[in-house]
Structure 1
Amino acid sequence: MTSAAPPDVSSWVAGRCAEAGLGTPGAGELVHDRPWSSAAVFPTGDGRVWFKANGEGTRQEPAVVRTLERIAPGLAPQVVAVDADRGWWLTRDAGPTLRSVLPAGEQWPVWEALLPRYAAAQLELAAHRAELLALGVPERSPATLPEQAADLVEELAATDPARGGLTPRRRAALEARLPAYGQWCAELAADGLPWTLQHDDLHAANVCWQGSAATARVIDWGDASIGHPFGTLLATLNSLARHGQATLEDARVLRVRDALLEPWSGLADRSTLLRSVELARATGPVTRALAWRAALRDAPVEAQVEFDFPVRGWVEEILAG
């Protein structure tokens, strides 16, 4: 059940709409209120606008989207206004989500067309790593992940298992896995591909659809990090397989994978690219754990319970690698 947007939010949105020439917005509707962000939608005389308030762990998102507007125009939502101090921002409506308008079985060609656009943007953004890091985008690259993984294991080992921590047995298993994890990261770092911005949660609910893959826009960049470009494929391929009732070896899933690889084919041979997909997916659970830790920063334990202790859950995924 939705509720009205708070008065201070409505007032801020009205002011920003007036400055942008969008007229006076109608009543805002609070769409979600999570520990990491809240969002509300407002009608205007020139289409809907979306308000978002980011928590501390994802405060860099509007700056990331503004950078995308400049370097990869059309890939992300159009920003209307930002209040960086409060983590508030406003964007133009980018359309309904892909998941809400197309059944999973009809999405395969969309992903085959969308991912080359996304990869082309990653190639451009690789030259802007320093700028993105300065904006607060975290680095979760093969160079930093081994230490970050070890820190997570230590942190979780010091936490009560009833509050999302590790049992002694699971701690021992993870500590025994860390040397292999470091080797995967080292091999991935040596593949010659530049580290760049990767979304880390790219699935059909984070793509807005306007009828064509050429005009689709990717939303929800709060989990994005600087890392290996193929890190994206952990969330994307898993989601496609799950919702499309397919295995990861299904030909449709592999075509989507190859669509992302094609723009990188000038930088490495196919066998290297395929091996890097395996390694990026094997090391990627730590980036997901770090994203959840940032999102749930200062959140009550009930929020972690709601999502089944996702930091621990993702860290333990490296045992399956």
Structure 2
Amino acid sequence: MKIMLFISHPSHSKLLVLPTENGFVLPIVDAELLQAEMVGPLQSAVRTQLGYETSIGRQLFKRDNDYPQAIFEARLIDYDAGKGQWSDAKDIQRILLPSEASKHILESWIAEQKDIPRNRAKWFHPNFSTQSREWIFKEMNAANIRTCGKLDQVKASDFCLIERIPTTDGDLFFKAVSKASCHEAALTEYLHRRHPDLTADCVSVDNSSGWLLMRDIGGEPLRGNRNKKIWQRAIQEYSELQASEADTTDDLLAIGVPDRRIPKLKKEIEMYLRSMCDTGLDIKETEKIIELQPIILDMCDQLDFLPASIDHGDLHSGNIRTKNENFVFFDWGDASVTHPFFSTRVFWHALDELIDTEAEWLGIVDEFRPYYLEPWTRFAPMEELEKALRISDQLACVQRALSWYLYLTPSRENQQESYKRPSQWLRLFLEHRDLVGSDK
């Protein structure tokens, strides 16, 4: 794929251009990206093909049949333009562009630099790389850790930035998160103190910035492993972690983990259930959801006999790794203090990886329920827990819809990308009720 880059100066409104016989052009590289946010291959291509050390930003354009096929913004890490030159960003007349479309994109991008949108992720702002790298190297020096290579970007999205730092003591990872996940650094550090074998090892955190510097987790991802017994152990160990945190909710709230316990959930349902329907449900679906509101609120009351605890919020198999016979649970940016059983809904979806047909899904979920519930038998009889978990299978869909509607989508710049997520979760709620029978 041919990718054009708007490479800007680290601190000034200047654009890197390359001289040719006919005039100045913008840099273009060959790179293959599976997802726009997984920018590592593009950063590597700029490094090897152009000789520049950059921080890759947002994808501004993509169309497979055009030339270039994509356009990304980037910032030079140092001040040396090398074989290129710095051009005033406003002086685009001297730049040879391949099409009117690319000219329009460049003009829009230049105009935007004067008034950056409020919700743009901080790592896409000028000077972020300079500030974050100063902090990274300062914290590494304090921990007596030395680099042995260049920093590599892994991911850059509306929600987070992840960079890999090779060191003489193994790889470190730097993570910066959006305001919706600003508690992740403090929570990861807290959980590592209490459960050092079950969560990422923090070198340092900056709670005010939401920055996290952690050691490479290592091990193997649960995703791709079709050994059912390993998955069963994983959900049971996660449940044991939750049960052990059931008496620490005040501590969790004190470090900034969002409070989404049942009383608040009920208020959110009463206030926003109708407006969430407008994100993509049709008239009949909307009528059905509104008709079910009293039942949804009653579900909340039926679950409130168990203590609140930590809910990971996105417990799919990509956020679980196996290491030395242990499981490591990471990426806590969607976490909250709420009903613990809500965690299972995303995990149940991940069980698709262990089955061959959709018809097997309910059966394998039922097979996994006892492994999750066993640690909670210290709080209630198994019969009551089983009933609560089946209620949670439904209510968690509504809770997840609210997560997107109130917290995740409002925190990002490109809100259209996830605008329909609430309606998708509400539709899943209706489908699940049809699947299991509406009386359950």
**Secondary structure of the residue that 1:137 maps to in structure 2?**
coil
Aligned counterpart, 1:262: 374
Gaps of 5+ in 2: 1-32, 34-39, 44-53, 56-128, 434-440
Structure number with the bigger relative contact order (C-alpha 8 A, sep ≥ 6) is 1
Q: How far has the Cα of 1:133 moved from its partner?
A: 1.5
In 2, distance between residues paired with 1:290 and 1:63? Answer: 23
Bigger strand fraction: 2
C-alpha contact (below 8 Å) 2:246/2:307 kept by paired residues = yes
Q: Deviations over 1:78-134 (max 9, x none)?
A: 11111222211111110255145xx3422x222222223222221221111112122
Aligned counterpart, 1:290: 402
C-alpha contact (below 8 Å) 1:48/1:92 kept by paired residues = yes
Q: How far has the Cα of 1:19 moved from its partner?
A: 1.1
Q: How far has the Cα of 1:243 moved from its partner?
A: 5.3
> Aligned partner of 1:233: which letter?
T
**Secondary structure of the residue that 1:209 maps to in structure 2?**
strand
Q: For residues 90-129 of structure 1, what are the structure 2 equivalents within 5 Å?
A: 90-95=213-218, 98-99=221-222, 103-106=224-227, 108-129=228-249
Q: How far has the Cα of 1:7 moved from its partner?
A: 4.3
In 1, distance between residues paired with 2:178 and 2:413? Answer: 14
Give the TM-score taking structure 2 as reference length: 0.64
Q: For residues 242-257 of structure 1, what are the structure 2 equivalents within 5 Å?
A: 242=353, 244-245=355-356, 247-251=360-364, 253-257=365-369
- Of structures 1 and 2, the larger Rg is shown by 2
The 1:75–1:177 alpha-carbon spacing in structure 2 relative to 1, beyond 3 Å, is: same
Gaps of 5+ in 1: none
Aligned counterpart, 1:172: 287
In 2, distance between residues paired with 1:204 and 1:244? Answer: 14
In 2, distance between residues paired with 1:104 and 1:250? Answer: 19
Aligned counterpart, 2:175: 52
Aligned length: 306
Bigger shift: 276-285 or 9-18? 9-18
Aligned counterpart, 1:37: 160
Aligned counterpart, 1:235: 346
Alignment partner of 1:197 out of 291, 302, 310: 310
> Aligned partner of 1:196: which letter?
S
Q: How far has the Cα of 1:264 moved from its partner?
A: 1.3
Bigger helix fraction: 1
Aligned counterpart, 1:299: 412
Alignment partner of 1:145 out of 246, 265, 275: 265
C-alpha contact (below 8 Å) 2:239/2:375 kept by paired residues = yes
Aligned counterpart, 2:335: 224
Q: How far has the Cα of 1:139 moved from its partner?
A: 2.5
> Aligned partner of 2:250: which letter?
A
**Secondary structure of the residue that 1:50 maps to in structure 2?**
strand
**Secondary structure of the residue that 1:76 maps to in structure 2?**
coil
Identity of aligned residues (%): 25
In 1, distance between residues paired with 2:336 and 2:160? Answer: 17
CA RMSD of aligned residues (A): 2.3
Give the TM-score taking structure 1 as reference length: 0.86
Pairing 1:272–2:395 present: no
In 2, distance between residues paired with 1:298 and 1:271? Answer: 40
C-alpha contact (below 8 Å) 1:181/1:318 kept by paired residues = no
